[in-house]
Structure 1
Amino acid sequence: MAKNSLKSPVFGVIVVLLSISSIVSSVGILRDIIRDGETLVSESGIFVLGFFDPSKNGSSTGITRYLGLWHNFSSYSIVWVANRENPVTHSFGALQLREDGDLIISQNQSIDSDRIVWSSNSSNSAVVNPTVKLLDSGNLIITSNNGTEDGGTIIWQSFDYPTDTLLPGMKLGFNKQSSFQRYLTAWKTPNDPSPGMYVARMDNINELHEVYTSLDKKKFIRYGSWNGFWFVGFPEMKVTYDYTFTFVDNQTEAFYRFNMTASDSYGRFTVFPNNTIYTMVKRKTTPTWLYYERNSDTCDRYAYCGPNSICNPLNAKSCECFTGFRPKSSLSWEQMEYSNGCERKEVLNCANNEGFLQLIDVKTPDTTNSTVDKKLSMNECKDLCVKNCSCTAYGPVYLETIAPRGCIMWYGDLIDTVLYNSGDGEQLYLRLPNSEILKNSSKNNKKIITIVSVVVVGMILISLFIVVIIIKKKKQKQRDYPELETMSSPYQDVRRWKDDIPLFDFLTISSSTNNFSSDYIVGKGGFGDVYKGTMKDGREIAVKRLSKNSRNGLDDFMNEVVLIAKLQHRNLLQMLGCCMERNERILVYEFMKNKSLDKFIFGENRYLLDWPKRVEIIIGIGRGILYLHQDSRLRIIHRDLKPSNVLLDNLMDPKISDFGTARLFVAEQLQENTGRIIGTIGYMSPEYANGGIFSIKSDVFSFGVLLLEIISGKKSRIYYEPDVYLLEMIWTLYKEGKSLIVLDECLSNSCSIPQVLRFIQIGLLCVQEKAIDRPTMSDVLFMLGNENLHLKEAKRPAFCSDSSGVGHSHLWFTNNTMSLTMLDGR
């Protein structure tokens, strides 16, 4: 990961093109040599080539020096490293171009073989007048100039040897004739460029060329094959507006690349040492990179459910056996250990009593054990599979507007299949005995009958409800939504939520938002879009509409309605009503003109909140959480506290929002365990992120992170100098008695120093690694409001490295909603 700033000569000064005895020209062409401390700049000044020191303190130690490339405006983010496996061991390294076209890095500016630490291996006796040039694309090239005006022939280029970053125009793939691979390998650690264990590459096993990441040489996330529009395991590609994607597969090579859609923007795609992937965009008008983390959840983990099963992110237990299959180990399945997968209930005999069950909207299985014919139709594909007794399933290669085409036939076990619930998946035809297909059809018919019955009953109940409103004399005799009858015991007291919350009709909501015009959208999230609406009486509302493609279904919708319907607190966002007409799921809230807290504690707007107002916001958030944990009739764990889920009213008072992932506890319940981890990286407690265990102490942890972000104006999931996350940086400063350094500079004239130091210590108490060590929210509020109270010494925070560099509570999960994060590089 990159730092906010570096102090070495290469990074700490304005990078310019130095001319040493006419060795380096003014347009970035290298004739002979550059030494450590000198740089080569592309013609338009976009990219810089030079030596750098990735050590934690950013100083030039003269111990580990690397030759790298970075954007001229962003020196902390290295996009390519030449000698990542063999650094120069002092500050006297040099880059030299030999007469035979070989580019080398040597120690002490020597060309002795024992002093060479890296070579391009591009030497050739036919090379004439070799020249090195750094292009504005970030490609470092060596050309052989035969007197032509076109600049000569390229004999080597850095684009063929990417490290951890893919730049626009770079290829991720391979050459079919030479088997030469172009792939990405993360740095070993944020301050060690040597190759790590996390790799992104394209396979060459068959014609589909699936893209995947691997961790320690084992598949980690499989993005799958190209379906004509996107990779089957990465449907989010279709809504990316900053990039254009290209997949090329011809007789010579197969590769993927991207380009930027706007000339005033820069982009990169990087794999990081913490096993995550970010796509990044920077526009000329913005000071920092925008980091987009791919939507990811448990089901993205390769073969999480084992063979012959399907992973469903909306299922509480995630994994289900295919129809006609059963768990190989019932005991393991019950314990949510799915690696053994499933086996057939009835063995196939390749007879006429077999058929195919269609699965829709799925990420199709790993194609390692498959054959491909891209020219066949689906009917021809089916006929082939029927004739081949070893064929266990078939499906299309390409999605087309008229009909899918191409043929993939799978053999043996089916691995890494995921149900998307979004409409962006593929079709899979599973070979089964007809008896199993009939059973499945029977189940589906029963489901259809049940759905029709529920609809009919629902219409009757709604009619009864209208009658009750009109006459205003009778209590409702039947509950309107039978779904609530199946909820677990903690929800039993709130089944009659409709007595407490109004129902809006769809036409009223639609009219208030100009028929859900895109111009009225004020926010987006995993649930769907949020619109600003204006009622006929002039009242402004916020309309949260469940997206048809949202992975958050009726359960999350009902969860938010049920939980917030009974809650009344000045620091909780007030729900005004909901709408469930025309298959719509809509929540209506009071409108917050000042939007969310993150808009005011990060970036330029942070100057609008002085210290006294931040104290009010901190205490207000704490009171809201305490109400959820203790003072309301229900005990609720929010599970996703973060600045974007805290809204601000006209007086800048905080309102906690977004209860879609919240959970209700019974009075005596202390904690719960879940297999579906939902939340946002940087705010999840270690016991929840790593083990699925959550409690009131999970919210306390999130509050502690939020408190420290409000004080510092820094985001929790960004690497800061010296290459640490916010919690570790604050912890280190706290131990050294330098906590005040973390204070946002814009607060220096309005704050009380003793109060700032006290709040930082309280924040550290909230983020301690063990839940038992953290205070309750009532304790937190008491500490915040009593200046003379003696505070305990905080213990080590979660996700913090010890002196040996060994981290605690390593985080292996990512948030399951698309996140837009501002990071400051590697």
Structure 2
Amino acid sequence: MHLGINMKTGARQICTSWRSPDDPAPGNFSLGLDPNGSTQMFIWKDSTIPFWWSDYGWENIWQQPVKQCETYGSCGPNGVCRNNGKFASCSCLAGYTPKSSHDWKAGKWSDGCVRLAALHCQDIRKNAYKRLPGMKLPDHTERVPYIGDPDSCQSHCSRNCSCNAYAYVNTFGCMTWTGDLLDLYQFDNGGYDFYIKTPGATHNFGRSNKLGEGGFGIVYKGILPDGEEIAVKRLSANSKQGIDEFINEVILIAKLQHRNLVRLLGYCIEGEEKLLVYEYLPSLDAILFDSLTRGLLDWRKRFDIIEGIARGLLYLHRDSRLRVVHRDLKASNILLDKDMEPKISDFGMARIFGGEQNQENTNRVVGTLGYMAPEYAMDGIFSVKSDVYSFGILLLEIITGEMNSSFHNKDDSLNIVGYAYKMWHEGKANDLIDPTIRETCCKPEVARCIHVALLCVQDLAQDRPEMPLVIRMIINENIDLAVPRQPTFTVKGYSPDSTEKSSDAILDFVPFRPLHVLITCPPPTSPSLSTSPPPPPTSTNTAHHLPLLLPLLSVNAIDSSHLSASSCFN
């Protein structure tokens, strides 16, 4: 039985009684809804005379659908319906956008969604899958026989360019979908895992797109649907960088704007996934330390890179709204745009300083071995001078074209600082220059940069210049440069007054592999034979920290029982 009124035409659906229990001909009474639009039901005699009518309330015995999302296709093709209490909301699948943004904003969702970009049919590795948990699976599925596990089901969908989604359910096996996906509904509880195929920007974080890897995760190269290249930093599940550092990086880069700082395009926090999306730029280390590409960096380009990094640091330390210490300045965190303009990146470990604050102490020393200042590696004390030290290391790497770790045991040096100081003190600074630019560079300019680098990597923070002075020393040849102090923990048995070698060894702050080191005191220099000032004394506090530093740096000390503050450092 159907009762109703067509509100446009006025046509009514009524029920007419029989003339008698035995005569089915139309009788005198009829049942229908009030033509005036109320919710009342009427019984009419002779079609016009009201004989009986109901009250205004209806007793709800049973109804369906109970929730709005249970209405078939309520969000249109490729739209997902989610119930929020009494109301429902629609959203497009990953990689889709509303077909009509105007209707979508007005809550008219029936037109659904369309793809932002086509799937990659020529190279299926470029496609990715987005997992949607707790789903009512859409209509018009195709069951795939003889597939007994989820991975094989995904592979089957990947090989079929028409396949837009798949699901694997133990009781049904592998199911795939082509064309538009209809009647998608996400339950509060229950449901199935449903996988949407998307044109993945990073090839599903594939190995071929991997740009680099660090303690906090992996960086991948990706391409957005509009063709823009991006770099996606994906924090690993066992990353040392937590949500606080992640948010710190986002906030800092959003507030810092400078031509020599990297540009953040966006970020994502979803479940266990934490992603940062940057403009894609190649890193300095990828070009500088590759024998096939370092020739692209002539001295003029290298000098401009040095100056750009220095100006970026100056902005962080002094000229920005915030006073920031980067704490992880290194070649892999320097990006180069198409014009070889450097941009400092990776602010996950950066710290903000107060206006009058000069240094800070931390119980959690984070950074990269080889670039960390001594006071930071040993005591957790960092300041703008810590970044100056890292800049000095970076400056020497740019000049030599070699990683700082490659200088271990080179000419009895333990690292790049010791080797550079030795060559500079012996008047052989030109030997430090990368052979690919040695004949074409401006040697006085290079020599000046080497001198500035040695001032930046001095042991004591108070001896290092700040970035304003560093920039002036680099670009102004009329400024007189101070004499850099000899590094303490860098050279095996080397004294600036003697080129002879001895069996003595001094601990390097920056071991890049387990070392067996004999810790002794360098032989005293006779005042009558010395024309140069003696090396600066090292603090007693540093002496006491040396035994504690050994296990921290994975160094095995041999016969260090004689080490004391009084015998070595007084």
TM-score w.r.t. length of structure 1: 0.36
Check if 1:513 corresponds to 2:212: no
**Residue 770 of structure 1: CA displacement?**
0.6
Contact kept, 8 Å, 1:685 with 1:701, in 2: the verdict is: yes
Partner in structure 1 of residue 440 of structure 2: 750
Residue 570 of structure 1: aligned partner: 259
CA distance in 1, matches of 2:323, 2:200: 37
CA deviation string 1:412-456 (max 9, x = no partner): xxxxxxxxxxxxxxxxxxxxxxxxxxxxxxxxxxxxxxxxxxxx9
1:731 aligns with 2:421: yes
Match of residue 707 from structure 1: 395
1:808 CA drift (Å): 6.6
Taking a change above 3 Å as real, the CA distance of residues 510 and 750 of structure 1, as seen in their structure-2 partners, is same
Residue of 389, 410, 425 corresponding to 1:721: 410
**Does the residue aligned with 1:597 lie in a helix, a strand or coil?**
helix
Q: Does 1:552 align with 2:241?
A: yes
Separation of aligned partners in 1, 2:447 and 2:390: 19
Compute the displacement of 1:510 (Å). 7.4
Structure-2 separation of matches of 1:645 and 1:813: 28
Count of residue pairs brought into register by the alignment:
317
Partner of 2:155: none
Q: Which amino acid aligns with 1:577?
A: G
Cα distance 1:537–1:765, how it changes in 2: closer, same or farther (>3 A)? same
User: What are the equivalent positions in structure 2 for 1:253-402 lying under 5 Å apart?
Assistant: none
**Is the counterpart of residue 527 in structure 1 residue 226 in structure 2?**
no
What's the offset of the Cα at 1:769?
A: 0.8
1:693 aligns with 2:392: no
SS in 2 for 1:512: coil
Aligned counterparts of 2:220 and 2:505: Cα–Cα separation in 1: 46
Give the Å deviation of 1:515.
Answer: 3.3
Residue of structure 2 equivalent to 1:684? 372
Conserved 8 A contact 2:229-2:279: yes
Once the 2 structures are TM-superposed, how far is the Cα of residue 508 of structure 1 from its aligned partner?
11
2-structure distance, mates of 1:601, 1:793: 30
2:299 aligned to 611, 616, 626, which one?
611
- Larger gyration radius, structure 1 or structure 2: 2
Task: State the 1:620 CA deviation.
Answer: 0.7
Partner of 1:796: 486
Identify the residue that residue 633 of structure 1 maps to in structure 2: 321
- Find the residue that maps to 2:369 and give its secondary structure: coil
Secondary structure of the structure 2 residue equivalent to 1:578: strand
Cα distance in 1, alignment partners of residues 439 and 371 from structure 2: 29
The answer to whether the 8 A contact 1:611-1:750 is kept is yes
How far, CA to CA, are the matches of 1:507 and 1:673 in structure 2? Answer: 48
Deviation of 1:566 after TM superposition, in Å, equals 0.7
Matched position secondary structure for 1:585: strand
User: Aligned residues: percent identity?
Assistant: 50
The structural deviation recorded for 1:595 is 3.3
Offset from partner CA, 1:738-778 (integer Å, 9 cap, x none): 21111111112221111111111000000011100100011
Q: Which letter does structure 2 place at the counterpart of 1:610?
A: D
Partner of 2:250: 561
Whether the aligned pair in 1 keeps the contact of 2:237 and 2:272 (CA below 8 Å) is no
For the structure 1 residues 559 and 815, does the alpha-carbon distance in structure 2 shift closer, same or farther, using more than 3 Å as the test? farther
Distance 2:227 2:290 in 1: 32
Are 1:730 and 1:742, in contact at CA under 8 Å, matched by a contact in 2? yes
CA contact (8 A) 1:601 1:609 kept: no
Aligned mates of 2:355, 2:197 — CA distance in 1: 39
Shift of 1:640: 0.9
Q: Aligned partners of 2:343 and 2:245: how far apart in 1?
A: 20
Task: Work out the CA distance in 2 between the residues paired with 1:582 and 1:645.
Answer: 27
1:629 and 1:510 map into 2 onto residues whose CA distance is 41
Q: Is the 8 A contact 1:686 1:798 kept in 2?
A: no
Q: 1:581 to 1:808 in 2, by over 3 A?
A: closer
| Corresponding letter in the other structure for 1:647 | L
Find the aligned partners of 1:711 and 1:530 in 2 and give their Cα distance. Answer: 27
Mapped partners of 1:815, 1:512: distance in 2: 40
CA contact (8 A) 1:602 1:714 kept: no
User: Over residues 315-344 of structure 1, what are the superposed CA-to-partner deviations in whole Å (9 max), with x where a residue is unaligned?
Assistant: xxxxxxxxxxxxxxxxxxxxxxxxxxxxxx
> What is aligned with 2:460?
770
Structure 1, residues 503-544: CA drift from partner, whole Å, max 9, x if none?
xxx999973223333333222222222222222222111111
Conservation of the 8 A alpha-carbon contact between 2:288 and 2:398: no
Secondary structure of the residue that 2:293 maps to in structure 1? helix
> 1:555 is paired with a residue of what secondary structure?
helix
1:648 corresponds to: 336
Structure 2 residue identity aligned to 1:799: F
Instruction: Name the CA shift for 1:519/1:746 in 2 (closer, same or farther; >3 Å).
Output: closer
3-state SS of paired residue (2:259): coil
Cα offsets for 1:173-197 (capped at 9, x unmatched): xxxxxxxxxxxxxxxxxxxxxxxxx
- Kept in 2, the 8 Å contact 1:543–1:588? The answer is yes
Contact 1:690 1:813 in 2 (8 A): no
Q: Decide which moves more: 719-728 or 606-615.
A: 719-728
Q: Aligned partners of 1:570, 1:683: CA distance in 2, in Å?
A: 24
Aligned to 1:623: 311
Match of 1:660 among 348, 353, 356: 348
Question: Structure 1, residues 669-689: CA drift from partner, whole Å, max 9, x if none?
Answer: 111111111111111000001
Question: Alignment partner of 1:599: what SS?
Answer: helix
- Deviation digits for residues 144-166 of structure 1, max 9, x if unmatched? xxxxxxxxxxxxxxxxxxxxxxx
Match 1:543 to one of 224, 227, 232: 232
> CA contact under 8 A between 2:330 and 2:394: conserved in structure 1?
yes
Which of the pair has the greater relative contact order for Cα pairs under 8 Å at 6+ separation? 1
The 1:509–1:612 alpha-carbon spacing in structure 2 relative to 1, beyond 3 Å, is farther
Q: Secondary structure at the match of 1:586?
A: strand
Q: Which residue of 2 aligns with 1:211?
A: none
CA contact (8 A) 1:689 1:813 kept: no
Unaligned residue ranges in structure 2 (runs of 5+): 1-83, 85-90, 92-104, 107-194, 496-501, 511-548, 554-570
The answer to whether the 8 A contact 2:201-2:223 is kept is yes
Q: CA deviation at 1:735?
A: 1.5
**Equivalent pair of 2:229/2:280 in contact (CA under 8 Å):** yes
- What one-letter code is carried by the residue in structure 1 that aligns with 2:330? K
User: Aligned-pair distance for 1:710?
Assistant: 0.7
Task: Give the alignment of 1:800-819 within 5 angstroms.
Answer: 800-801=490-491, 803=495, 805=504, 807=506, 810=509, 812=549
Counterpart residue type for residue 691 of structure 1: D
**Residue type of the alignment partner of 1:807:** I
Alignment CA distance shift 1:722-1:511 (3 Å): closer
Question: What CA deviation, in whole Å up to 9, does each residue of 1:3-24 have, x standing for no partner?
Answer: xxxxxxxxxxxxxxxxxxxxxx
Q: Secondary structure at the match of 1:660?
A: coil
Q: Structure 1: where are the runs of 5+ without partners?
A: 1-455, 457-462, 464-469, 472-505, 817-826
Please, what is the CA RMSD of the aligned residues? Answer: 3.0
Distance, in Å, in 2 between the alignment partners of 1:513 and 1:756 is: 40
> 1:632 Cα shift?
0.8
User: For residues 783 and 712 of structure 1, what CA distance do their matches in structure 2 show?
Assistant: 20
What residue in structure 2 maps to residue 779 of structure 1?
469
* Matching residue of 1:243: none
Alpha-carbon spacing, 1:749–1:730, altered in 2? closer, same or farther (3 Å): same
CA contact (8 A) 1:556 1:660 kept: yes
